Amino acid sequence: MTTDRRDFLAAAGVAASGLLVESSRGFASNDTLQIGLIGVGGRCKHLLKSFPGLPNVKITAVCDVWEQNLAEAAKLADPKAFKTGKHEELLARKDVDAVLIASPDHWHVPLTVDACNAGKDVYVEKPLTHDLSEGKAAIAAQNENKRIVQVGTQQRSMTHIIRAYDLLKAGTIGKVHKVHCTWNRNAARAQRYKDAMDPKSVDWKRFLGSAKPQEFDAYRFRQWRWFWDFGGGIFTDLMVHWIDVVHWFLDLDHPTTAASAGDWYSAKDVWETPDTVQTLLRYPEKEVQVYFEGTFSNNRNGAMVEFMGTEGTLYIDRGRYEVIPDRGKKSPQPSELVLGTGQKGLDFYDKPDGELLHLLNWVECVRTRKKPACPVEAGVSAASAAHMANMSLRSGQIAGRLLKD
């Protein structure tokens, strides 16, 4: 069933009349918001599918280090859109009000800082940071420049998860001491193949950025998530989504310790990051433990989070929530809200359209200057849990909280 823009706005809590109010920035709903895209690979192209649902938005500039990505993105932008391989040129333009950043992880903070300093509002993909030390710079850039920065953990804008949040805050499942998160896929993601990519079509030096110098590698360029110089594996790419929900629901900040394990079963001798991982995060100040597991060898439980309370359990995935009473307890009453149509835990991109709702929230906040659903501080906090999990994984020891941002 097709849902029109008005339904999406209502679902996101955005009143049509509210969009007509002039903001301190000078934007109103009938003003065209001019957006530049930085990093227009697979993730950006996925987000662009939601752009037709955004009111009065025009893509006026695109930037990528690979000529093929740049050419494909230009077809989706305004016919007169500016094209460049250098983000500095895009950020210098007056016909760009805000930017969407979907680059590899190690570029997220440098690009966000540069964009904020250039007076642009930002939508930046998760994880916000690539290293624990980057958090302070990202927060300062947002706050000192008074920018609207939305981090792309879209669960914060999904209507059924917002309702689940209200249930938990109402005490429906009692006191939560333990949380179980999963992101399991039975997917062959590690095969190397003969790649016809022309190295001359890629600005490899710019792609590397702060990473150590190394020879061009087409596989690393396309599969950067699984190499430490550019990404952080399953913890930063997938766990961050649910850890952000956990932090949001339980008012948690950074974990105090992380104890992790990881192995290579489907990506041995191909990926630097493990394809099967587990971690235990402890938040003793709030009397909470969070356990995450992820693999590419089995899809049991799919992608979900379970808040395990003293009275019952709250189950959430991207298509539903369920309240399950604990054995022997008279309350809470069993309940559920199912929006997705697939198997539990596997409604990755079904319903609701989390990307559209999150982008709508960002656009509305750019206009009204209200705080977005997932500002920089939340992005830093969620990413720090993943970084601590990786610190434990790589050292073989329990990682303690050394930095708070």
All domains of the chain in start order, with CATH: 5-155+360-367 (3.40.50.720), 157-195+219-350+376-400 (3.30.360.10)
Position 217 confidence tier, pLDDT thresholds 50, 70, 90:
very high
| Upper half-sphere CA count for residue 59 (Cβ side, 13 Å) | 24
For residues 216-222, give the mean pLDDT.
95
Task: Provide the pairing of β-strand 82-84 with 57-63.
Answer: parallel
Position 346 confidence tier, pLDDT thresholds 50, 70, 90:
low
HEC-encoded secondary structure of the chain: CCCCHHHHHHHCCCCCCHHHCCCCCCCCCCCCEEEEEECCCHHHHHHHCCHHHCCCEEEEEEECCEHHHHHHHHHHCCCCCEEECCHHHHHCCCCCCEEEECCCHHHHHHHHHHHHHCCCEEEECCCCCCCHHHHHHHHHHHHHCCCCEEECCHHHHCHHHHHHHHHHHCCCCCCEEEEEEEEECECCCCCCCCCCCCHHHECHHHHHCCCCCCCCCHHHHHCHHHCCCCCCHHHHHHHHHHHHHHHHHHCCCCCCEEEEEEECCCCCCCCCCCCEEEEEEEEHHHCEEEEEEEECECCCCCEEEEEEECCEEEEEECCEEEEEECCCCCCCCCEEEECCCCCCCCCCCCCCCHHHHHHHHHHHHHHHCCCCCCCHHHHHHHHHHHHHHHHHHHHCCCEECCCCC
Position 350 confidence tier, pLDDT thresholds 50, 70, 90:
low
For residues 287-291, give the mean pLDDT.
98
Position 347 confidence tier, pLDDT thresholds 50, 70, 90:
low
Residue 3 or 187, more confident? 187
Which tens digit of pLDDT belongs to each residue from 222-280?
A: 999 999 999 999 999 999 999 999 999 999 999 999 999 999 999 999 999 999 999 99
pLDDT of residue 177: 98
Place of tokens 């009000």: 97
pTM (predicted TM-score): 0.90
pLDDT of residue 98: 98
Query: How far is 90 from 106, CA to CA, in rounded Å?
Result: 19
pLDDT of residue 192: 79
Which tens digit of pLDDT belongs to each residue from 355-383?
A: 999 999 999 999 999 999 999 999 999 99
Which tens digit of pLDDT belongs to each residue from 55-96?
A: 999 999 999 999 999 999 999 898 899 999 999 999 999 999
pLDDT of residue 401: 63
Task: Please say if the pLDDT value at position 302 is more than 60.
Answer: yes
- For the chain, give the mean pLDDT: 89
For residues 272-300, give the mean pLDDT.
97
Given a contact cutoff of 8 angstroms between Cβ atoms, the answer to whether 43 and 102 are in contact is yes
Position 189 confidence tier, pLDDT thresholds 50, 70, 90:
confident
Q: Is the dihedral of CA 358, 360, 366, 368 positive or negative?
A: negative
State percent of the chain over pLDDT 90: 79
Task: Please say if the pLDDT value at position 175 is more than 90.
Answer: yes
For residues 158-181, give the mean pLDDT.
97
Q: Which long-range contacts (CB under 8 A, 24 or more apart) does 204-211 make?
A: 204/65, 206/65, 206/85, 206/86, 207/65, 207/104, 209/106, 209/107, 209/110, 210/106, 210/110, 211/106
Which tens digit of pLDDT belongs to each residue from 35-47?
A: 999 999 999 999 9
For residues 282-295, give the mean pLDDT.
97
Distant-in-sequence, close-in-space partners of 113: CB < 8 Å, separation ≥ 6: 137, 138, 141
pLDDT of residue 17: 31
